[in-house]
Structure 1
């Protein structure tokens, strides 16, 4: 049965009942224009899920694709695994797509997986082993990032250091969206009301029992990444401002330090002029100081603007996403079990 959602469901073209069969695992795959890889991703994932005991489901969240990815996903059909297709009304971004998948996931364990196959589905059994040991969150840490430039690897390393230095929570370094969450953690995440979502921080915020598994991240199977450096910079700003007010405090401290320095420097000039009769000079140096102060002021205003902008977005209370289509395809074996129980 399709679960209720806080957003509008415009069309539900295939509505099937398979709630009678408890779900062990939900795998959420958000995608946007991944026609060149989505079929390979599905086949590899199904091969892994067929080895897992218990009922599994795959939730494909289409973030407004325009390249035929949707048509490919709608053609998928499996005997042992339930499939669910969620089509958003437009491209809302990956954070919103993952949130939509978490709202619909019903498994006792939930795994988020990118469609580009950089995160190998073959690691899912190891993640489930840790979950069965009692861990609520299984973080997958990238010890090697194949197919990425040294600039991107270096910038990512610097970002995690800055984020953890400023953030009030500990965000695991080099851990992306690929991770396992227990049902309890997912329920808490779904209750978070914020519209400005940095999911890596949201995944870390609940806490609970966590463990980390290292793995080598593969290069993209096909296609090109949707994340350019501009988008990555915006995501980094979202991560810092969503989980810390330290940038505002740094701006305050910086302002106080500059004001104190200006007062001391002014007193030195007065003393040198009145006592030692020195002529005040140094027009170029004063221009440099003024330009530096102007740059710092604009930087502080920009920091405040980032927080004010987030307040503005939150105050509008718009939904995080809109769903246009939901299609359920229950597993054949699950349907047979339900018919026998009925």
Structure 2
């Protein structure tokens, strides 16, 4: 059972957040000041091109609980989360975005559930403020499709905002997938899980770091990691192709003109089906090929604050008492 002197790690992936990172740090530090638990803030800079890392390092001189991981280049949001939880020392680890669309005020509710015996407490979004209608529709559609076709139970309307117990973090840290889909992996490892509901806020500064291209890639990673349904769909595509071929042969016996039109349309349809099938198979093959290279998932250029922090964890907890 977690005690009142628990250490909570907050992992925050950062990519070009110069416009709002100082505000994020001040809000989090103000929040931490009034909490019963000890906190460490782990910022993982995912190859930012702006002054994000400079501002975080500057804030570290003011706040001793700030830790920094700096990637050598942009490796992606999911790998930034992965690195952060591996470096976290907390009895529990909270993952949240650095734009604070997921508000810190939800964390005490997560901790309450954790103290009640839950190992994972994920945030379930009731509303998504400040996002376009297109993004809301596509996100809602993706979560429901993923929930229906995946071979694990991935909760609806949940992102990466969640609290995880130390044993869950230790288990996740052992996984070595080149393109991890973290929220799927958290469901995959199991343990006792529950949710807290909240309203996602509008971004205070800057712009989203998840354009359509990255959203599409994340969706693809999720589908190919936790479902074989896309592969099975190729069988249905093949059956449809056979039906079209038979229909083409039947029409050709009766009307030459119609046959030309139908043949042209069928050619495009069949070509598209073949390309779609090859693309689906290619995605699965690439994940296998990528894993076979055994490259490190990411490269860390610098890290700050971790060594001294490890030495002082017991002191922090004793002082709290």
CA RMSD of aligned residues (A): 2.5
CA distance in 1, matches of 2:315, 2:154: 42
Q: Secondary structure at the match of 2:125?
A: strand
> Which one of 294, 298, 301 corresponds to residue 321 of structure 1?
298
Stretches of structure 1 that go unaligned for 5 or more consecutive residues are 1-21
- With over 3 angstroms needed to count, the CA separation of the structure-2 counterparts of 1:105 and 1:325, relative to structure 1, is same
Counterpart for residue 163 of structure 2? 180
> Which one of 202, 206, 216 corresponds to residue 233 of structure 1?
216
2:101 pairs with 1:118? yes
Instruction: Work out which structure has the larger RCO, using CA pairs closer than 8 Å and 6 or more positions apart in sequence.
Output: 1
Counterpart for residue 281 of structure 2? 304
8 Å Cα contact 1:167-1:240 kept in structure 2: yes
> Which one of 38, 49, 54 corresponds to residue 66 of structure 1?
49
Larger Rg computed on CA atoms? 1
8 Å Cα contact 1:166-1:244 kept in structure 2: yes
**Cα shift at 1:279:** 6.2
Residues 92-130 of structure 1 show CA distances to partners (whole Å, capped at 9, x for unaligned) of 111111111011011111001111111111211111001
CA distance in 2, matches of 1:241, 1:60: 29
TM-score (norm 1): 0.84
**Cα shift at 1:85:** 0.9
Q: Secondary structure at the match of 2:13?
A: strand
8 Å Cα contact 2:176-2:297 kept in structure 1: no
Residues 67-96 of structure 1 show CA distances to partners (whole Å, capped at 9, x for unaligned) of 211121112248986321111111111111
8 Å Cα contact 2:154-2:183 kept in structure 1: yes
8 Å Cα contact 1:95-1:199 kept in structure 2: yes
Counterpart for residue 246 of structure 1? 229
**Cα shift at 1:253:** 2.7
**Cα shift at 1:256:** 3.1
- With over 3 angstroms needed to count, the CA separation of the structure-2 counterparts of 1:306 and 1:312, relative to structure 1, is same
Counterpart for residue 337 of structure 1? 315
Counterpart for residue 7 of structure 1? none
- With over 3 angstroms needed to count, the CA separation of the structure-2 counterparts of 1:75 and 1:336, relative to structure 1, is farther
Residues 195-240 of structure 1 show CA distances to partners (whole Å, capped at 9, x for unaligned) of 0211221122112111111111111110111111122112111111
8 Å Cα contact 1:25-1:110 kept in structure 2: yes
Stretches of structure 2 that go unaligned for 5 or more consecutive residues are none
8 Å Cα contact 2:60-2:67 kept in structure 1: no
- With over 3 angstroms needed to count, the CA separation of the structure-2 counterparts of 1:80 and 1:228, relative to structure 1, is closer
Counterpart for residue 57 of structure 1? 40
Runs of 4+ in 1 over 4 A off after TM superposition: 77-81, 263-266, 278-281
2:118 pairs with 1:141? no
